[in-house]
């Protein structure tokens, strides 16, 4: 069973920074494609950033230039560095593990599983 654990959320003033981290646990797999999402109260969950197995990143328009997604395959973690935070960034943030590579026989597997969510609150 694959499980995700999130950390790094909290309270911050405008212009501040936070670094969110997601770690996957379980046997015999390598992380492949991952994402970070956020959800505002009463709104649908939306993708903030994603990263492919080759390291190619994509961001929603509001995150471009401020957020950076990165990965560490050896530790099976992926982070979201958030700079220049604004009150509009206040939301519950979720990491998502889209696909993995399983071992010992290499094979791609779709998971689409979520972390438990971590609150980011930006005060004005």
Q: What is the pLDDT of residues 97-112, one digit of tens each?
A: 999 999 878 899 999 9
Distance between CA atoms of residues 88 and 62, nearest Å: 10
At 106 the pLDDT is 85
**Ramachandran region, residue 98 (left: φ > 0; alpha: ψ -120 to 50; beta: rest):** alpha
Residues in the chain: 124
Chain segment 49-66, per-residue pLDDT in tens: 999 988 999 999 999 999
What parts of the chain have a pLDDT lower than 50? none
Strand partners, 70: 79
Residue 31: what pLDDT?
94
At 62 the three-state DSSP class reads helix
Rounded CA-CA distance 80/68 in Å is 6
Integer-rounded Cα Rg, in Å, for the chain is 14
């Amino acid at each position: 069973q694959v499980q995700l654990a999130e950390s790094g959320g909290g309270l911050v003033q405008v212009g501040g920074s936070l670094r969110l981290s997601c770690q996957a646990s379980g046997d015999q797999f390598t992380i492949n494609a991952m994402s970070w999402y956020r959800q505002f109260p009463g709104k649908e969950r939306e993708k903030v950033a994603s990263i492919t197995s080759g390291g190619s990143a994509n961001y929603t328009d509001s995150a471009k230039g401020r957020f950076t997604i990165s990965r560490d395959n050896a530790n099976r973690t992926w982070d979201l560095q958030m700079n220049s935070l604004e009150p509009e960034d206040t939301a519950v943030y979720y990491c998502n593990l889209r696909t993995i590579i399983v071992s010992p026989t290499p094979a791609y597997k779709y998971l689409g599983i979520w972390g438990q969510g971590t609150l980011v609150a930006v005060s004005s």
